[in-house]
Amino acid sequence: MDDLLTDHPHFDSATRRALQLDALSAILPMERRDRLAELLTDDDVATLKHLAREGIGENTLRALASDLAYLEGWAQAATGAPLPWPAPESLALKYVAHHLWDPAKRETDPQHGMPAKVAADLRKALLLRTDGPHAPSTVKRRLANWGTLHRWKGQEGPFHAPGLRTAVRLAVRASSRPRQRKSKRAVTRDVLDRLLATCRSDRLVDTRDLAVLLLAFASGGRRRSEVARLRVEQISDEPAVPLDPKDPQSSTLPCVAIQLGRTKTGVADEAGRVLLVGPPVEALREWLERADIGKGPIFRAIDRWEALEERALTPQSINLIVKRRCAMAGLEPREFSAHGLRAGYLTEAARQGVALQEAMQQSQHRSVQQAASYYNEAERAQGRATKLYLG
């Protein structure tokens, strides 16, 4: 039946692709469905549907779709033709030259880097937001995803060619763009308290956002994708925790466990399990009770009339909640993102003297080096070496 609908002769190609993308509505951001349908080809959509059927991770598929749409838009702007399969090495080299370049050389050579017309076309298509060279990590990720899509199509690409690898290495060296943090500022405890203060009302959306912020922070700084796809079935009650473990008469705090399942750096069958204790548990339970949610997605959309919708929030929605609460708290939303909760958790743990290993058990960081960077920065900020001028 679906094929009969999408193959209807009165549908143009973009409409047909938009209807086909409905099959990926649980994964792809559907507010961008029509834009993706314009950028992607029929073969691209077929590839994404195949990958979804193969059980590829949601985050990975979302990134592949986004990068594929960008590459299609860039190829059209740069060459006047759709992305060819397989891609020639010359096109991959052109992609590198357009996205990694030397700003100093651009001042004396206007032809260096991405041509102005290509950049203008990409901005008009809402695909380009930066004025300078791209982040090397973005360029490398798109090349890697380009190569992945070749392999899934059963084709050989140029992505392991020595010439391309050398070009990327030299271009990264020439492109002196500093690495940007995913969130300029961390959502540490003081910032979090200001955000939570904006949720102190009986509005359903405030109850939801209070639970979102507390759960995301206290569970180790969960990624926005993990918070968005969290389901009731992943939550289980645990024995209450004594406020003072050394006092037999101590009052207790409620506790629940969250089975994370598949994460960005892990897989579903690993023991990704974190605990929530105290106020975050109370906020979560109040939200579930008020919203009358007993199964399925925990955090759901709420319309303007405070009616609860069935669909789960998207990762982008979690990000927008953080930014909206920052604006309400008198903070600059551009300085914060949902990733600030993850950075803030580790920064706050370092400030409060929590051992790195203990904090990593909760944050589920695999890289000691990455997690330690937040500890090192917090220690430097509080250390004597940064305060020599103060006497």
Tens digit of pLDDT for each residue in 25-54?
A: 544 554 455 566 677 777 877 777 777 777
Taking CA atoms, 100 is separated from 97, 111, 123, 219, 346, in Å, by 6, 13, 17, 37, 32
pLDDT of residue 95: 95
pLDDT at residue 138 tops 80? yes
The predicted-structure confidence for 207-262, as pLDDT tens digits, reads as follows 999 999 999 999 998 999 899 989 999 999 999 988 888 888 889 999 999 998 65
Q: Is the pLDDT of residue 385 over 60?
A: no
* Residue 43 amino acid letter: D
Residue 19 pLDDT grade (very low, low, confident, very high; cuts 50, 70, 90): very low
Distances (CA, A) of 195 to 217, 237, 320: 12, 27, 13
Question: Could you tell me the maximum CA-CA distance found in the chain, to the nearest angstrom?
Answer: 79
Higher pLDDT, 386 or 164: 164
pLDDT score, position 117: 93
Within the chain, all domains assigned CATH 1.10.443.10 are found at: 189-384
Per-residue pLDDT, 267: 45
Structure tokens at 163: 């010439």
Residue 266 has pLDDT above 70, yes or no: no
Reported confidence tier of residue 178, pLDDT bands at 50, 70, 90: low
Residue 258, Cβ density class (10 Å: 0-12 exposed, 13-18 middle, ≥19 buried): buried
Residue 40: DSSP 8-state: S
Rounded to the nearest integer, the mean pLDDT of the chain is: 82
Write out the two tokens for 172. Answer: 């990264």
pLDDT winner (highest mean) among 154-158, 276-280, 313-317: 276-280
Q: N- to C-terminal Cα distance for the chain?
A: 77
Strand 273-277 relative to strand 300-302, pairing: unpaired
Of 13-17, 130-134, 190-194, 377-381, least confident by mean pLDDT is: 13-17
Residue 305 vs residue 254, higher pLDDT: 254
CA distances from 289 to 246, 285, 301 (A): 33, 6, 16
- CATH architecture classification, 189-384: Orthogonal Bundle (1.10)
Question: Distance (Å, rounded) from C-alpha 66 to C-alpha 76?
Answer: 16
Q: Using omega within 30 degrees of 0 as the cis cutoff, is the peptide bond preceding 86 cis? A: yes
**Of the candidates 28, 19, 134, 23, which has an alpha carbon nearest to the alpha carbon of residue 74?**
134
Question: 169-183, 202-216, 229-243, 298-312: which has the minimum mean pLDDT?
Answer: 169-183
Chain CA centroid to CA 282, Å: 27
pLDDT at 140: 92
CB 386 within 8 A of CB 380: yes
Residues 6+ positions from 56 with CB-CB distance below 8 Å? 64
Neighbours of 252 (CB within 10 A): 13
Query: Is there a contact between 121 and 77 (Cβ–Cβ < 8 Å)?
Result: yes
Supply the pTM of this predicted model. 0.60
pLDDT of residue 296: 92
Q: What is the pLDDT of residue 330?
A: 95
pLDDT of 286 above 80: yes
Parallel/antiparallel/unpaired status of strands 235-242 and 252-259: antiparallel
Least confident range of 84-88, 184-188, 209-213, 330-334: 184-188
pLDDT at 292: 95
Label residue 242 exposed, middle or buried (CB < 10 Å: 0-12, 13-18, 19+). Answer: middle
